[in-house]
């Protein structure tokens, strides 16, 4: 029997587009999300990070253990794309414009509006939301 993790890793090799929704201003959560996005970029994927809600504040975190500004600069230099979503309507608009050929409207609305929605994967795309759970 194949474990869920091995199946996920096998399926991740076929992914072409990755979206990371960052909705947290916790430094460690931001750092993990951007490193995760950078990993997918190294796998030759089309990777986009969407900063939304409290995640907008992490764009300006400098120095210390989690230098988010430096990490984002590296991500962009390596070919990643960053989008600033001033509200969830902006996030929904970006997801519709960039992923609607891969996802149904229900998944896009869930990803942009529902805090319980964590991720969605098809054979071509993977979108994951990073939000600190308290």
Residues 95-110 pLDDT 10s: 988 888 888 888 888 8
CATH topology classification for 16-130: Hypothetical Protein Ychn; Chain: A, (3.40.1260)
pTM across the whole model:
0.81
CB 45 within 8 A of CB 76: no
Distances (CA, A) of 40 to 16, 88, 103: 10, 24, 19
CB 80 within 8 A of CB 47: yes
Q: 9-59 pLDDT, tens per residue?
A: 545 566 778 999 998 888 889 999 999 999 999 888 889 999 998 888 887
Quote the pLDDT of residue 107. 85
Neighbours of 45 (CB within 10 A): 19
């Amino acid at each position: 029997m194949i474990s869920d993790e091995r199946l996920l890793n096998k399926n991740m090799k076929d992914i072409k587009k990755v979206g990371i929704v960052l909705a947290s201003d916790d430094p460690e959560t931001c750092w993990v999300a951007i490193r995760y996005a950078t990993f997918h970029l190294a796998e030759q994927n089309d990777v986009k990070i969407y900063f939304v809600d409290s995640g907008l504040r992490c764009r300006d975190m400098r120095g210390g253990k989690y230098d988010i500004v430096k990490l984002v600069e590296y991500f962009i230099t390596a070919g990643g794309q960053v989008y600033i979503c001033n509200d969830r309507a902006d996030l929904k608009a970006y997801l519709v414009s960039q992923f609607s050929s891969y996802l149904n409207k229900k998944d896009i609305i869930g990803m942009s509006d529902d805090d319980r929605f964590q991720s969605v994967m098809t054979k071509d795309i993977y979108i994951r939301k990073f939000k600190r759970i308290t």
